[in-house]
């Protein structure tokens, strides 16, 4: 293991975050940390690296385990050139290089004085230093620095600039670059994708996977980007209800396994409930009769029974439902040579022209700083165009989403925001509406200026929903939303019958929502049909890449098994279902076994008995490997049942 949390408890005032969380991070694992906003993901990162003290429980570290995080990163300030600031992450290699140069000078001096024994000793020391230098990639250090700088979106012309003069986004990317080049055992990354464009995201994915595959580094990553988690994570840990749930595989596997785990637990909880009811009924009927002894024995059994808890549902869920106050015409918006930009700095794009029809959903796509938000604000008439026009169609009602809500007074309360939309709204009606967006009780009295990014985002979306717009202009609507809220927003936008123009760096979101992509490259904007996947294929084709190297296989004739009598199909279905049920039972048994071992390891006495602790740890590793194997077998069995066996 790298580190282990044991029965960790943490509360902030009346808000309880962890209630006995236990989990272990093993070497070579990139673990995705997911959960609702406020569940405790960032708190967990703080506890792991010692920045937050748990109220109870402990964090055990293996010898030599070190952490690196943006929270502990050096602030890019002063006159140091950017390249030097980032390269200092490899100071250990620089030290080895200096040591090798000094040893070479010492060898030359010893050789000239004919001290053979001294020369041999110095040569051995130099060989050892050179071996460490080579093993740690010393000869590639400069190339690695340049690769990372370019990868995170810091071009060559920025490398000589003093770090103190960089923009906020550039400073953040410089910190990420320095973090990636360090030699910590574990990277702790809290939303690392927030300041990266898509090219930077793809580089970060490649880098983390390369480091993981080389066994060089593990990582614990908080991210709401599902495609990113699918690309890098080989385990997902969910933070929910004060505990940590560990799932093997990427984000997609986590969703499947969580659904199955919840189903198994619900089934086990229901079966146990029936057992308890039958046992209690037996006790009531026999406690004073001839079977008193049996009744007393069963009462003791119930007292010792470890209760299986059914999956808990989140009580507070955000509900998105976009409904048009009235339908627009078919021609919703026409851009006629529209030139977005600022009078002080000039145009950002060449003239943009396209016709937007009712029901279309257009994603504005391009690197950071290319003009996406400026174009969206110009369409929304929040900025004046430098040329051309944006002509709305008949009956168009615009709803603009600004995640920062810069247009609202910071002194307003959440309730004031809704009342401003309709002064005739009763207090109870306003509160009921805000409850759909997870603003409840005294939370509606919070000032806009005190809200978190996620709360501002929800309130901004609430305004749009209330307004009944039929043309939605959305600037990064998924920022600050947790994964569950993102998925509910997606469903609502897909059900929306109006028209949408949006900016997003979430590739999954763009793929699911967009009917078209307005791609910005340089100063040119081109409209393409489809989502992110189609755009990626088009870019790959332009680069001469083969988008599908799989040979085309002619369709096989209908398999003989498909023409057999239904009795044979029934037997196949029965066999497949039994296999699934058998594997489900095995999964549940192994999960229970791991929980039992975790409870034993969490006892203070366990760590005073070295042999017993080693045996428990070995047993846990064995059970975890077996569980991962059973999960894989279960997934294969379910696919077989769903796809290969006739329904």
Query: Stretch 479-497: mean pLDDT, rounded?
Result: 88
User: What was the pLDDT predicted at 451?
Assistant: 85
Residue 177 has pLDDT above 90, yes or no: yes
Model confidence band, residue 645 (pLDDT cutoffs 50, 70, 90)? very low
Residue 320 has pLDDT above 60, yes or no: yes
At 236, is the secondary structure helix, strand, or coil?
strand
How is residue 256 written in tokens? 């499947």
Q: Give the Cα separation of 157 and 166 in Å (integer).
A: 12
553 versus 502: the higher-pLDDT residue is 502
User: What was the pLDDT predicted at 36?
Assistant: 87
585 versus 277: the higher-pLDDT residue is 277
User: What was the pLDDT predicted at 396?
Assistant: 93
Q: What secondary structure letter does DSSP report for 312?
A: P
Model confidence band, residue 562 (pLDDT cutoffs 50, 70, 90)? very low
Model confidence band, residue 455 (pLDDT cutoffs 50, 70, 90)? confident
How is residue 48 written in tokens? 């792991």
Give the Cβ contact number of residue 317 at 10 Å: 13
Residue-wise over 346-365: b if at least 16 C-beta within 10 A, else e? ebbbebbebebebebbbbbb
pTM comes to 0.73
Q: What is the pLDDT of residues 216-266, one digit of tens each?
A: 889 999 998 999 999 999 999 999 989 999 999 999 999 988 888 888 888
Query: Stretch 84-106: mean pLDDT, rounded?
Result: 76
How is residue 175 written in tokens? 């910190």
Of residues 229, 225, 198, the one with CA closest to residue 480:
225
Q: What is the pLDDT of residues 420-429, one digit of tens each?
A: 888 888 888 8
Residue 314 has pLDDT above 70, yes or no: no
φ/ψ bin of 249: left (φ > 0), alpha (ψ from -120 to 50), beta (otherwise): left
Residue 25 has pLDDT above 90, yes or no: yes
Residue 137 has pLDDT above 70, yes or no: no
Query: Stretch 96-113: mean pLDDT, rounded?
Result: 72
Model confidence band, residue 440 (pLDDT cutoffs 50, 70, 90)? confident
Residue 400 has pLDDT above 80, yes or no: yes
Query: Stretch 373-387: mean pLDDT, rounded?
Result: 94
Query: Maximum distance among all alpha carbons in the chain?
Result: 104
When the pLDDT of each residue in the chain is averaged and rounded to a whole number, the result is: 83
User: What was the pLDDT predicted at 555?
Assistant: 37
Residue 646 has pLDDT above 50, yes or no: no
276 versus 93: the higher-pLDDT residue is 276
Query: Stretch 616-632: mean pLDDT, rounded?
Result: 80
Residue 578 has pLDDT above 90, yes or no: no
Contact 72, 49 (CB under 8 A): yes
Query: Stretch 45-67: mean pLDDT, rounded?
Result: 92
Mean pLDDT comparison of 230-239, 288-297, 572-581, highest-scoring range: 230-239
Residue 560 has pLDDT above 60, yes or no: no
Model confidence band, residue 602 (pLDDT cutoffs 50, 70, 90)? low
At 184, is the secondary structure helix, strand, or coil?
coil
Report the range of poorest mean pLDDT among 95-99, 363-367, 619-623: 95-99
Give the Cβ contact number of residue 256 at 10 Å: 15
User: What was the pLDDT predicted at 604?
Assistant: 62
Model confidence band, residue 116 (pLDDT cutoffs 50, 70, 90)? low
Q: How many CA atoms lie within 13 A of 334 on its CB side?
A: 7
Model confidence band, residue 73 (pLDDT cutoffs 50, 70, 90)? low
Of residues 460, 497, 500, the one with CA closest to residue 323:
497
How is residue 261 written in tokens? 């785990």
User: What was the pLDDT predicted at 556?
Assistant: 38
Query: Stretch 347-370: mean pLDDT, rounded?
Result: 93
Report the range of poorest mean pLDDT among 27-36, 145-154, 634-643: 634-643
531 versus 195: the higher-pLDDT residue is 531
Model confidence band, residue 96 (pLDDT cutoffs 50, 70, 90)? low
Query: Stretch 28-45: mean pLDDT, rounded?
Result: 91
User: What was the pLDDT predicted at 114?
Assistant: 56
Model confidence band, residue 174 (pLDDT cutoffs 50, 70, 90)? very high
User: What was the pLDDT predicted at 239?
Assistant: 94
Residue 640 has pLDDT above 50, yes or no: yes
Q: Give the Cα separation of 495 and 323 in Å (integer).
A: 9
**Cβ within 8 Å of residue 645, ≥6 positions away:** 569, 572, 573, 576
Model confidence band, residue 297 (pLDDT cutoffs 50, 70, 90)? confident
Model confidence band, residue 547 (pLDDT cutoffs 50, 70, 90)? very low
Pairing label, strands 235-240, 243-248: antiparallel
């Amino acid at each position: 293991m790298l580190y282990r949390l044991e029965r960790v408890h943490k509360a902030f005032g009346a808000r309880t975050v962890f209630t006995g969380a236990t989990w272990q991070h093993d070497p070579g694992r990139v673990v995705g940390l997911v959960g609702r906003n406020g569940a405790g993901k960032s708190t967990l990162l703080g506890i792991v690296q010692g920045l937050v003290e748990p109220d109870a429980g402990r964090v055990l570290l293996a010898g030599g385990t070190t952490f690196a995080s943006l929270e502990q990163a050096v602030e890019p300030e002063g006159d140091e050139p950017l390249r030097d600031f980032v390269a200092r992450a490899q100071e250990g290699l620089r030290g080895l290089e200096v040591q090798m140069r000094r040893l070479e000078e010492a060898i030359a001096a010893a050789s000239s004085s004919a001290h053979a024994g001294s020369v041999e000793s110095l040569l051995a020391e130099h060989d050892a230093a050179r071996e460490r230098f080579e093993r740690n990639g010393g000869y590639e250090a400069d190339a690695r620095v340049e690769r990372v700088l370019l990868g995170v979106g810091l071009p060559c012309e920025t490398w000589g600039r003093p770090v103190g003069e960089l923009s906020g986004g550039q400073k953040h990317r410089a910190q990420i670059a320095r973090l990636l080049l360090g030699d910590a055992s574990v990277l702790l990354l809290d939303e690392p994708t927030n300041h990266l464009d898509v090219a930077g995201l793809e580089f970060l994915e490649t880098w983390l996977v390369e480091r993981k595959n080389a066994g060089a580094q593990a990582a614990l990553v908080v991210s709401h980007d599902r495609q990113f988690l699918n690309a890098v994570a080989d385990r997902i840990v969910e933070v929910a209800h004060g505990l940590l749930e560990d799932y093997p595989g990427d984000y997609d596997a986590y969703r499947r396994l969580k659904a199955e785990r919840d189903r198994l637990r619900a089934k086990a909880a229901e079966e146990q409930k029936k057992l308890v009811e039958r046992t209690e009924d037996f006790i009531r009927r026999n406690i004073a009769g001839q079977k008193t002894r049996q009744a007393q024995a069963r009462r003791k059994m119930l007292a010792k029974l470890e209760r299986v808890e059914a999956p808990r549902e989140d009580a507070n869920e955000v509900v998105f439902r976009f409904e048009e106050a009235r339908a627009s015409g078919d021609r919703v918006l026409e851009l006629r040579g529209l030139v977005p930009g600022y009078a002080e700095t000039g145009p950002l794009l060449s003239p943009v022209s396209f016709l937007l029809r009712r029901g279309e959903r257009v994603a504005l796509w391009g690197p950071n700083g290319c003009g996406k938000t400026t174009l969206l604000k110009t369409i929304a008439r929040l900025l004046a165009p430098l040329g051309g026009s944006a002509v709305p169609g008949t009956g168009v009602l615009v709803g603009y989403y600004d995640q920062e809500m810069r247009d609202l007074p910071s002194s307003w309360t959440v309730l004031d925001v809704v009342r401003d939309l309709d002064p005739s709204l009763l207090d109870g009606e306003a509160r009921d509406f805000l409850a759909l967006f997870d603003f409840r009780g005294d939370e509606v009295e919070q000032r806009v200026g005190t809200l978190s990014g996620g709360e501002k985002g929800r309130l901004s979306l609430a305004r749009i929903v209330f307004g009944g717009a039929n043309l939605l202009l959305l600037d990064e609507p998924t920022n600050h939303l947790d994964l569950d809220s993102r998925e509910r927003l997606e469903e609502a936008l897909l059900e929306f019958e109006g028209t949408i123009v949006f900016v997003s760096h979430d590739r999954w979101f763009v793929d699911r929502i967009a009917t078209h992509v307005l791609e910005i490259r340089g100063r040119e904007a081109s409209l393409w049909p489809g989502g992110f996947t189609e755009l990626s294929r088009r870019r790959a084709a332009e680069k001469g890449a083969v988008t599908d190297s799989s040979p085309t296989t002619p369709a096989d004739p209908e398999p003989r098994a498909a023409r057999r009598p239904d009795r044979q199909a029934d037997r196949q279905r029965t066999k497949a279902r039994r296999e699934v049920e058998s594997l489900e039972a095995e999964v549940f048994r192994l999960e229970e076994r791991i929980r039992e071992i975790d409870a034993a390891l969490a006892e203070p006495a366990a760590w005073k008995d070295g042999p017993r602790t080693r045996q428990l740890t070995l047993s846990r590793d064995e059970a975890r490997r077996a569980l991962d194997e059973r999960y894989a077998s279960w997934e294969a069995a379910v696919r077989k049942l769903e796809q290969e066996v006739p329904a």
